[in-house]
Every structure is written in C-alpha cells, then in structure tokens.
Structure 1
Amino acid sequence: MSESLEPSVFRSRDFRLLLAGQTTTQLGAQISGIALPLLAVEALDATALDLGLLGAASTIAFAAIGLPAGAWLDRVRRGPVLVASDAVRALVLLTVPVAWWFGLLSMGQLLAVALLTGVARVFFDVGYQSYLPTVIGRGRVLAGNSAMEFVRSSGQIAGPGLGGILVSLLGAANVVLAQAVTFAVSAVTLRAIRAREQPVDPDAHAGPLWRRVGEGVRFVVGHPVLRATAIASALSNLSFAIASAVTILFLVRDLDLPAWAVGLLLAVSAVGAMLASALTPVLARRIGSARIVWVALAVTGPLTLLVALGSPGWGLAFVVVGMFAGELGQIVYAITNVSLRQRICPDRILARVNATMGVAIMGLFPLGAVVGGVLGELVGVRATIVVAGLVVLVAPVVLFVALRRHRDVEELAPDSVHE
C-alpha cells in the first residue's frame, strides 16, 4: 500500500505519545540551545574557540561510540533505551543551574555536560530512528518523520524567542532547567508507549562486536545511494558545525543584538524548517521521493551565503533570508533522507546502519566546530560563515551523481523494502 493511502499516523495512540514527548523535549532543547552558548559568552567570557570546543564536546560521542552503540541496539528493545537516554540527559542538565546557584559553574563543567548529554543523545538518536518503524510501520515513515520534524521546527520557532526573553529575565543558567524538565517529561511519555517490538533473534546477532559493526558499515558503503547520502550529510553537518561556532558571536558582537533579539531572529528563520516539514510529503510526491533529496539542497544551498552579508539595521534581512533558506533545504533533505534509509534497510541491521550514518554525519562535527572556532579567531566570524556556506554547496553535487536516474525510493531497492 502506498504511503498516501495509509491511515493517518495521528490515529496511532503510540505515535501521539511519541509526538507529545518530543514536543516538550524539542521546545526545551531550543530554549536551552540558545541559553548554553549565551551563558558561556556572557557569564564565562567565552571566545570563539571556547564555543567551538563546546560544540565539539556535544557531538564527539558519535565518532567515539556510535558504531558499537548501533550494534548493541540491534540486540535489545529500543523503547527502554530511549526512556533511559532522556532520564540521563535530564539529570546531567540539572547540574548546570545547581552549580550556577552556588557560584561553582565553569567552562569545564559546561564541556562535561555537553559531552555526557552527547553520549545519551547517541543512544537516543540511533534508537529513535530504528524505533519509529515499529511504532507506525514502514509504510508511514515519511508521514511520521514529517510530523516529528514539524514538531521540532515548531520548537525552533517558539523556543529561541522564548529562550532569549527568559535569558534576559531569569539568566541563562536558570533557563537550562527548562530543558532538564522537558527531558524528564519525555521519558515518562515514552514509557507509556505500548507498541511491541519484534523479539530479537540471538543467532542473527551472534559473533564478535567488530563483525556485527562491520555488517552495518558494509551495507552503507556497498549501497551507492546510502554511501552518497552519508557523504552529503557529512558535508552539510561539517558546514553547520563551522558556522555554529561563530553564529552567536556574529549576532551578538558584530550585529550588536541583545539576547532577546538573537532568540527572535533564530525563531523567525526557523519558520523555514516548519514550512519544510509541512511541505515535504507534497514535494516528495511531485518531484519524487528520491529526487527531492538532492533538489532540496541544490536550490537552497547558495542562498545560505547571504548570512555573511548581514549588518545592523536593514542588513538583518540577509541573515533572515539566508537562515530561512538553509533551514528549509536542510529539513526537506533530512526528512526524505531518513525516510529513504528506513524504507530500504532491513530491520535486523537498521540500528547499525543508522549508527554508521550517524558516525559519518556527526563524526566531522567536532572537527568542524574546532575549525570554525580557529577560523573565527584567525580570519573573523564573517569570513568563517562564508567558508561554511561554500562547504554545503558540494553536498547536492554528490547526491545528484547517485540519484540522477531515480525518481522514487521504490526504484532504488524494491526488494529490501519488504525484507
């Protein structure tokens, strides 16, 4: 049955629970996402390199443990892992406001918090992408991913603006408490999901860890489309990491924006993400569920360079347009890319394939964050944003080579969809 003829994902109680949990989590994540770097800049006098290291610490876990985490997740039920991951993040983030209240907060603690929450995120992200087909079925993953991304982008709209206002009123450290609470709420909500996962066959996952990890890596490397999406995603994330190291500095110091204005600007630009999540199913049907993967980046990528032209006053329009286009293209790409992978990959190795993709995608993020911080110190934040924009332009070229002959996902690996 085609996805367009499937019953709505919102009729599923389990999906509604999953969506509710992620709604609270994403709102909290976006609120504290602006609070942590602002806390580092304003309270701890962080430099561009400090922010680059903070970004690296939050993502280095993907490179360090992503592959074995995927092999382990293929051997266990994924639902309880998601609950535990949210609970751990809630507890770790709670230490930030506590340390602040007692005057003990330091850059070292922020780096440790970023590192530990990053470890929990590895297990959550790999497990979540492998768990969604269990909750709603493979035939509805595009609709499910679109709905989840709509929630995430809605949080991007409300979160940064609310976060910037709350930082101005309450202080950045206190705002981090909001994310700790939302992770706890998400853990409770996920715990209520009743979907039964298929029993794990021990014989299918026997053998040394390195051999099981290698099976997932070989599947990605051996599949031309997955290989291309891994390379393109790595380039896109490298670009984002370079830019993220200097974006807050650019907005606060170069454009002289207060915290509330930074939050509002990021919220307005995130409308592109919300629009993308709503339009993705329509675009996929009209352009093709495989073709849209590269078209999205090819159309919007060049517009991201406009951010570097930003200046106080009317020059902020360049920043808004550039961020809007970048969010729109990246979200359409992310939804269609993940949905493609979930539909063509056999379930028995889905977690390992997701982990392999996660390592490929996030493995360069720590390097990109450090590079962005170093470039910010050496050539300035504006030039660093230009470098990030040039990197992302390579991604659609890689995807075009692999997908130019295919319009829809079913043309790529029709047999593996039903395995």
Structure 2
Amino acid sequence: MNVVSYRAVFGVPEFPRLAITSLFSRIAGAMWQLALVLFVLERFRSPELAGLAVFLSIAPGILIAPVAGALLDRHGRVRLMILDYIASAIFLSALAGVAMGGLLSVPLMLVIVTATSLTNPVGHAGARSLFPLIVPRHLWDRANAVDSGGYTLTSIIGAPIAGVIAALAGAHMALVATAVLHLAAAVVLFGLRDPRDPVPGGRLLQESLDGVRYVLRHPTLRGLAAGVSTANLAHGIAIVALPVLVIEHLGGNAAHVGQLWALMGIAGLVAAMATGRLGSEGRERQLLALSMLAVAGAVLLLARADTLAAVALAVTILGFGIGPLDVALFSLRQRRTDPAWFGRAFAVSMYLNYSGIPFGSGIGGPLVALSIPLAFTVGAGFAVLGAISTMTLIPKHEESEEAREELGAG
C-alpha cells in the first residue's frame, strides 16, 4: 500500500477530530502513568507503594468496564467521553492540590488515585469503539495503525514531558499539566456527532452482564484476554522497575526515564505504521505471538542492563514489539466482533486485556524491592506465556455468521 491509503483514512468525516481527541487523552495517559510513579517515589520513596498506586489507578476500572460498555451502547459515546475527560482533570488537579497544600497522606492519595480509574473505561472504550463505526472496514488496518501509532506517539511526547516537568518543577506539576490535556481532549470532542443513535436498553446491570457473557463465550475475545493480559504483566512490571533501575541504580533522573519511554514510542510508531501498510488480515495470531516474544527478549535485556545505553537498546526492541501487537490486536477484535456489541464487548475485552498492567505493577513493586533483574526476568516469562496462550487459545479462523448470532442471542 502507499501513502494514499492513510490519506483516505484522514478523509473520513469526523476521523481527524477523533484522532486529535484520542491523541490528547493518550498523551495525558502516558504522562499520568509516569508522573504517578515519579510522584510516589518523590513523596514517599517506596517502590512497593508506587506499584500499589499504579494498580489502583487501573484495576478498579476493570470492575466497572462492563457497566461502562453498556452505557456507551445505550447513551452514545461522545457525551460520556467528555464527562470522563473532565472528571479525570478534576481528580488529577485535586491530587496535585492536596500535595501542594501539605495535606497529602498515603490513604488520601490512594483514594484519589482509585477515583481516577472509575471513569477511565468510558473514555478508553468509547474512543476505541468509535473508530470502526466511523471508518469503513477496508480501511480498518490503516485506521488501527494510526490509532496504535498515536498511542505510541504519546510515549514519545507524554513521558518526556512528564519527566522534564517532574525534574524541573516537581511531579505534582506534571499532574497539573496532565489535567490540562484531559480538558483539551474534552474541548476538541464538543460537537462531534455520534455515528449511531443511542440504543434503548433494558436493565443496566443485565446489559452489563450480557457484555461479560458475550466476551467470555466468544472464542477469539476469550483467547485474546488470556494471551494479551498475560503478556501485559511484563509491561506492568516494567512501568515500576524501569524508573527505579534508571534513577536509583544507573545515576539517571526523571527526564532520562521520560526520554527512554519516548525512544520506545518512536520504535513502536515506526513498527505500527509499517504493519498497517502491509496489513494484518489472516496473520493476526502470528503477529501477536511474535510481538510478545520480542517483548520477552527486550525485558530480558533490561534484566542485564548496566548502562543507560543498554537500557536504550532494550526499550527500542520493546517498542518494535509493541507496535505490531497493537495493530493486530485492534484489527482482530474488530473483525470478529458483531458491531451491535462494540460498546459492551470492547469495554470488557479492552480491560481484560489491559488487566495485566495493573497486576504486573502490583507484583512489580515487591519484586523490584527484592531484585530488579528478578523482576524483569519474571516479566519476560509472562510475555512468553502470553505468546503460547495466543497461539493455542485464539481460533485460526473467524467464527461463522451463525455462531456470532448465537453469541449475541446467548
């Protein structure tokens, strides 16, 4: 394919605005991910507490993801996404405010961090489910490459911004900057038209449980949940372990951590765009498994890294692994999910896949306190298990139309 394919994607009405909104919110997410770890290390100097904070910033959202999906299908996506971005800005501003006011305590911090996770499924699943509704099916690989590239681009931009602000003005100011970006995402989204009218529904709890049931009974979505969540444990461990390795053992600072995440993002962007250009249809399982093995190799290199240059090489390989993984994951999920279930199925599927990150960070803190090489080695093992699960649990071929109707009816 040539560059015209990507021009065609940006020629789709509403796609550029959605892409800009997603970019702003994901830059804020990348800043939040690093700023939170730096904030906890700066204020409390505890890797274990940093791991717990990352866990609580994501895990509670997993529990309400089914409800978020049902709300998206019932009430439309745009209004709820705007509310999510505004709520995130308020919570982050509150966390920075209590820190600047000298009122911060560990329990209060953990309560605010937990609150930030409760609306996130609406924004994340809303954006991801809007893409295939707005973009024609034949452009999905290109749109997903842009989406994945935007996600990795946020690492290039977001993590260094957070690192530099934290190094110059303190991690609390990185939280303030993150809140501003969430507000910018909400402003861009104002006036965007939902591609489908909201669907009247029955009882919210029943619809939420239907979304969970649909994903768990769906062979592809169930296999993705097992494989991707297992591999994401490695990513969760790295979120906590990398800053500790760089700052406490290699003489670096917060800005260096941000630059390393940016390097990973650049590699991921290049790999994602190349994958989108080549296409993934029919090869998604293989791309997912090979990407996870690349992640395992990169994390093993981090276990042995004793210089910043060695860390830079490892995170570059990590980025080259993550880019194709995202494109294959997004495309496979879209191709094998009934559009009528996009909101509920995507919310549940996304957060099941993502669940490895908070759990990885939760176990990463104690592992890092014991041994940084041990933490990375355990992470590499999880990535290998994810690759094996992907190849064994995800069906080779798409479910038949009759099977998909049965899943929806069940």
Note whether the superposition's TM-score is higher than 0.5: yes
Distance 1:397 1:191, change over 3 A: same
* Aligned partner of 2:391 among 392, 400, 418: 400
SS at match of 2:14: helix
Separation in structure 2 between the aligned mates of residue 372 and residue 300 of structure 1, nearest angstrom: 16
RMSD: 2.7
Corresponding residue of 1:347: 339
Does the CA-based 8 Å contact 2:36-2:50 persist in structure 1?
Answer: no
User: Any gaps of 5 or more consecutive residues in structure 2?
Assistant: 406-410
2:279 counterpart SS class: helix
Kept in 2: contact 1:345–1:416 (CA 8 A): no
Q: Is the 8 A contact 1:14 1:195 kept in 2?
A: no
Determine helix, strand or coil for the equivalent of 1:192. Answer: coil
Instruction: Tell me which residue corresponds to 1:308.
Output: 303
> 1:187 offset after TM fit, Å?
0.5
SS of equivalent residue, structure 2 residue 64 = helix
Identity between Structure 1 and Structure 2 (%):
23
Aligned position for 2:283:
288
Distance of 2:76 and 2:310 partners within structure 1: 47
Question: What is the alpha-carbon distance in structure 1 between the residues aligned to residue 117 and residue 63 of structure 2?
Answer: 11
Q: How does 1:3-402 map to 2 (within 5 A)?
A: 8-42=8-42, 44-200=43-199, 202=200, 205-206=201-202, 209-210=205-206, 212-285=207-280, 288-311=283-306, 315-377=307-369, 379-402=370-393
Q: Which moved more, 1:171-180 or 1:99-108?
A: 99-108
Instruction: Give, in whole Å, the separation in 2 of the partners of 1:286 and 1:29.
Output: 29
> TM (normalized to structure 1)?
0.87
Question: Secondary structure of the equivalent of 2:102?
Answer: coil
Shift of 1:67: 2.0
Residues 251-289 of structure 1: CA deviation (Å, up to 9, x unaligned): 111112122222222222222221122112134359834
Q: CA deviation at 1:325?
A: 1.9
Once residues 34 and 244 of structure 1 are traced to their aligned partners in structure 2, the CA distance between those partners, rounded to angstroms, is 8
Aligned equivalent of 1:412:
398
Question: What amino acid does structure 2 have at the position aligned with 1:19?
Answer: A
Q: Provide the TM-score with structure 2 as the length reference.
A: 0.89
Deviations 1:122-169 (A, max 9, x none): 111222222222222444332222112222222211332233222222
Change (3 A) 1:126 1:402: same
Question: Residues 362 and 62 (structure 1 numbering): CA distance in 2 closer, same or farther, change over 3 Å?
Answer: farther
Query: How far apart are the structure 2 equivalents of 1:162 and 1:144?
Result: 26
Structure 1 residues 285-325: Cα deviation after superposition (integer angstroms, max 9, x where no partner):
598345323232234432321011111xxx33332222222
Residues 196-241 of structure 1 show CA distances to partners (whole Å, capped at 9, x for unaligned) of: 32341x3xx435724x344333433333322211101110222222
Deviations 1:395-418 (A, max 9, x none): 111122245x84xxxx51464899
CA–CA distance in structure 2, aligned partners of residues 25 and 359 of structure 1: 17
Contact 2:69 2:346 in 1 (8 A): yes
Match of 2:408 in 1: none
Count, aligned residues: 402
- What amino acid sits opposite 2:173 in the alignment? N
Structure 1 stretches lacking a partner, 5+ long: none
Is the CA contact (8 Å cut-off) linking 2:234 and 2:299 kept in structure 1?
A: no
Q: Which amino acid aligns with 2:19?
A: L
Secondary structure at the counterpart of residue 270 of structure 1: helix
